[in-house]
Structures are given as structure tokens and as C-alpha cells.
Structure 1
Amino acid sequence: MSGRGIVVAIDGPSGSGKSTVSRQVAGRLGLAYLDTGAMYRAATWWCRRREVELDDAAAVAETVRHMPLSMVTDPAGPRVVCDDVDITAAIREADVTAVVSKVATNLEVRAELARLQREIIASESTDPASRSGGAGVVAEGRDITTVVAPDADVRILLVADENARLARRARERHGSADDTAIAATRDEVLRRDADDSTVSAFLTAADGVVTVDSSTLGIEETVAAVLSVITEAAEAVNR
């Protein structure tokens, strides 16, 4: 692609399969994996631990600027560590999920975390001492294809229809996709997308971003589709 390692950026709405697919693609290509959404969850966890009122935008932004965050980018075992505490599981708890949009829609927080995300992407795609050895990274999450890494070698918008996204998140959270489980996840998926869309464009592809629709695809099929996009991009550069 260029003198540096490859950068693959994957965006899309909740439940489209971004995290699972990105991890598998990174693992198969020997790349690092960066879940940028987890960084917003970590920021939320940190602010709550510091007893910062999430409606105080300035206080939240200042707290996040000093957050001692470390992202472990191994696709086989990605972890989030804050203040020497492994919070990988804690940031997925309901109490964080319910309020993460308050932090994720804070524009100063978004600017700070975007800066950190660019640092990680640059390290993984250039530094032989990084986890990928400079081979590159698959980074996924809001704004990744447009704001954080608009110059990524491959930019993909992974989408799925509402029913598919709700069913996937219900199975992930509750082990089934019956009416009760879907109702329990509706707020998490649709409300968060509505909140986040006020500060981030992730529902339609920007120029140069390839759309992959996973509505009727399984994980393996979606991974194959994303790998195909990456292969085509590499071949186009080498022609």
C-alpha cells in the first residue's frame, strides 16, 4: 500500500458486526486491532470512578485528558487497562452502556480520543516495537473512516438492517433473539445510534468508503467480504 504498514478503518452502526469482524480480519492478516468505541466506554468508566458529573462537559473533557489509558491491541485478546486496572469487562456493564453516549457526544472528548487513536494507529503501522511490529492495524468505531483515519489504506462502512442488528445484539447480550431479548437491547442499539449520530456520520458511506452490507451474512461471510475489499485495494495499488 505504502512504505508503512496497512491501515484498515471500519465504521458502522451498533450491531453491524464491526468488532467481531474487525478482530477476525486483524487476526488473519497479522495486524493489531483497535476498538475505538471501547475508549469512549473507558472514558465513561474513568469519569464515574472520579465521580465527575457527566453532564458537566468541561469537567468530563478535562478528566479524560488525564486518563491513564492503555489499549492492548492483540486481536486474540484485546484489553482495556485504565489506572493499572483491567476494565475490559467492566466497560461492557449496563451502568456504563446506559450513559456512554453522554461522554461520546462531548466534542472535546472526541477530539482528545481521536488524537490518542491516531497515535496508536501511527505506532502500529510504523513502529517495529509495536504489537503488530509495524505491520498495521484494523481500527473500528465511530468517525474512524472520516475523522480519525481519512487517509487509511482501506475504509469500510459495515452496515446491516435494523432487525439484523437488534437480533445480533440480543444474542450477544442475552443468548437469544426472542421478543423479550430484542426489547431489552432496543435502547442500547437504536438510542445510542441516534445519540451518536448527532456528532458522527456513520450511517452512509463518505467518498472513497466501501459499503459492506452484513444483513444476510454470517460472520465468516462478512469477514470474507471485508478481506476481499482489502485484497482488491492492494491489487489496485500494485497494478
Structure 2
Amino acid sequence: MTTAGNLLGVSDTPADVSAHDLVVAIDGPSGSGKSTVARRVAAALGLRYLDTGAMYRAVTWWALEQDVDLADVERVAQLARELPLQQGLDPADPTVAVGGIDIAAAIRSSRISAAVSAVATNLGVRAELVARQQAVARAGGVVVEGRDITTVVAPDAPVRVLLTADEQVRLSRRALEVHGSADASAVDATRDQVVRRDADDATVASFHEAADGVDVVDSSLLSLDETVAAVLKLVEARTGVRT
């Protein structure tokens, strides 16, 4: 395991991996910055970018649009299998559409954020979406981020990273993102979205502790640029691929 503090201490012999085939798997809790970091890393390396969380949000949006009770696990799982999802993998412009309808903004609403855990913890939904995610990972040339990425979706990826941060730091970051402020009231308004969702998702996914062979980058004291640089150093140490 390697932390951001001693990235250059990675002693494993770099894998023989080309940038074309490279898969970078990133896990992390809410507010750890994994989406932004993954996009920046993908752009720097010329790779595609897959936001797996957007897939669960898309299922949630589609179910709510059809007035489906999210507690009806079988019906929601069936919707996931039928989901006509079109997801653009360009890190500079990651798009999300269902049935030709652009839902990239809609899935980030508080309505979806409050409901997505019911979908993300549905094992039938997870089975379908993990299969779709694995298909993207198998094609290579991609940074995949979300939950269970390093252990389930891409356990054989040459670069596997757990991106984490102190809970208060994560709350402040998410409050600033959602409310434009990190004052006490904004943090409190964000707490349920971050802490409860992590607790819910932890019942079916592992993203707090690093599995064997997974490197840890703790961004609590790092800027965004420093965090991206830390992950890129890991990529180079593990594979020899550099920007």
C-alpha cells in the first residue's frame, strides 16, 4: 500500500502496459474528489473516463420519471437491464443521456442525490451496471471511478487507487460544490447526502479500506493539482506510462 506521502517508494516492477490498454481504477467515498481527479488524470493520459456513479443516478432518474417505487427491487432491477443509456466517455465532456434525453444536469439534482442509495444498494441493479462497467474496462484505455472499482469492476487493473480524505474535508468540499459555500450551515445541509449515502452504500460496496495491492492517496492536505500529480506518479510507478 502506498500513500501520497511516499509515492516514490513504490517498489513493484512496473507492468508492461501501453497507454492504449491502460486501465486506472479509482475508488473512494463521497466528497473525496474522485470524479474530478479521475477526469483530470484521464485527460492528462489521453484516456477515456467512466463515471460509474452517473449510471446509478441514471437508473434512479429513469425510475422516478416512470413513477416506479424504488422499494420495488425487482422492477427497478428490470429497469436497469432495459436502461437505454448513452454515456460519453470524453473526460473533457462526459455526457449522460437516456433514450436520447440529456440528463447530465438532472441526475445531479438533490432529488436524485436523496434517492440514489436505494438504487445503488439494489443487488440486481448492481449486477447489471457492473457488467456494463466491466465491458468498458475490458476494452482498456480508460479511467474508471466509483465504488467497488478496484475489487469488483477492474480487480486486475494495473493501477488501482483508493482516493480518500478526512470526513470534515469531504463534507466541506461537497458543500462548496453543491451550495457554493463551506460555512457551517452549508456543511450541515450536505451531511446527510455524504455520510448517510456512504453508510448505505457500504452495505454492498467496499470503498473505505484498500484491498491488497491497492494504493491509497489521502488528499486531506493536498490541493487538486497535488492529488492529480500523486495519482499520475502512481500510474508511472506501476506501469511506466507517463504524461
The answer to whether TM tops 0.5 is: yes
Task: Quote the Cα distance in structure 2 between the aligned partners of 1:58 and 1:12.
Answer: 28
Alpha-carbon displacement from aligned partner over 1:107-157 (angstroms, at most 9, x marks no partner): 11001000011112223x2xxxxxxxxxx0000001111011101110000
2:83 to 64, 67, 70: 67
In 2, distance between residues paired with 1:166 and 1:218? Answer: 15
Higher RCO (C-alpha 8 Å, min separation 6): 2
User: CA shift at 1:51, angstroms?
Assistant: 1.8
Pairing 1:99–2:111 present: no
Superposed structure 1 runs of 4+ greater than 4 Å apart? none
Q: Give a deviation string over 1:209-233, Cα, whole Å, max 9, x none.
A: 0000000111000000000000000
1:161-208 residue CA offsets vs partner (Å, 9 max, x unmatched):
011000100110111110011001000100000000000010000001
Q: Which runs of 5+ in 2 are unaligned?
A: 1-15
Q: How many residues align?
A: 225
Aligned partner of 1:6 in structure 2 is 22
| Aligned-residue identity in percent | 60
Q: Secondary structure at the match of 1:81?
A: strand
1:228 aligns with 2:229: no
Could you tell me the TM-score, scaled by structure 2's length?
0.90
SS at match of 2:97: strand
Match for residue 90 of structure 1 among 76, 99, 106: 106
- TM-score using structure 1 length: 0.92
The 5 A counterparts of 1:202-221 are: 202-221=207-226
Partner of 1:33: 49
Please list, as runs of the form range in 1=range in 2, the aligned pairs for 1:18-167 lying within 5 A after superposition: 18-123=34-139, 125=140, 136-167=141-172
The CA RMSD over aligned residues, in Å, is 1.2
Tell me, yes or no, if the aligned pair for 2:17 and 2:239 is still in contact at 8 Å. no
Structure 1 residues 184-199: aligned runs within 5 Å: 184-199=189-204
Provide the C-alpha distance between the structure 2 equivalents of 1:200 and 1:151, rounded to a whole number of angstroms: 17
